[in-house]
Amino acid sequence: MASSLLLASLAYAPVNAQRSFDVAPGTPAVLNGIEYGIEVLNEQTKGTKEDEYNRYELGLFVVNKSGCAKLIMPRQTLFGTETNPALLATFDCLNATGRRMTSKSGNLSARPFVVPYRQTVKNAEGKDVTTTTSVPAGFILRNGESVTSRIIVIVPASEQPQMRVRIQEIIDNF
């Protein structure tokens, strides 16, 4: 009985699966009018006594070319709201070594979106005073807006970074 109840509750829980795409410089992934891509900002070949490696500075970007702003509301999960609702995408370097305290992945997040809320309260003298409070309503990616970040990855010699982007899909539920 308890296992069937758990199974039934899982069936009604919303599923927020992430799509993943391989990306390379100049060939961004596009989903619902939003581009997810990388660009190589700097490339160096370094060597030590043991081996050689390539060091890349990568620019990560998400650009909204959908023609409209994308509002992202905190999503409800089986265990409450999701842990990072502002997350747009995670870029993973599949062949990064992580040596010398460099990255293997990078995240891009949307900006917070607030709504002004005007309320009338009585002050200490009994007079009505109108105050405006900014209430967090979610996150936004405006039309034409780009979100960027930089990471440094080290890959084995004679290799280029093999990048994959995991996209947190923006659900249009308005």
The predicted pLDDT at position 113 comes to 93
Residue with the bigger pLDDT between 16 and 163: it is 163
Tokens coding 142: 């405006």
Q: What are 121-131's pLDDT values in tens digits?
A: 888 898 999 99
Band (pLDDT 50/70/90 cuts) for residue 10 is very low
Q: Mean pLDDT over residues 27-50, rounded?
A: 91
Average pLDDT of every residue of the chain? 86
The reported pTM is 0.80
Q: From edge to edge, which strands make up the β-sheet containing 34-47?
A: 29-31, 34-47, 52-64, 146-156
The two tokens of residue 152 are 């440094």
**Residue 85: what pLDDT?**
86
Farthest-apart Cα atoms in the chain, separation: 78
pLDDT at position 11 over 60: no
Query: What was the pLDDT predicted at 7?
Result: 46
Checking if the pLDDT of 139 tops 90, the result is: yes
Mean pLDDT in residue range 13-28: 78
- Please, what is the Cα angle at 143 between 150 and 76, to 5 degrees? 80
pLDDT at 102: 86
**Residue pair 162/156 in contact by the 8 Å Cβ criterion:** no
Q: What does the pLDDT average to over 89-110?
A: 91
Whether 38 shows a pLDDT value over 60: the answer reads yes
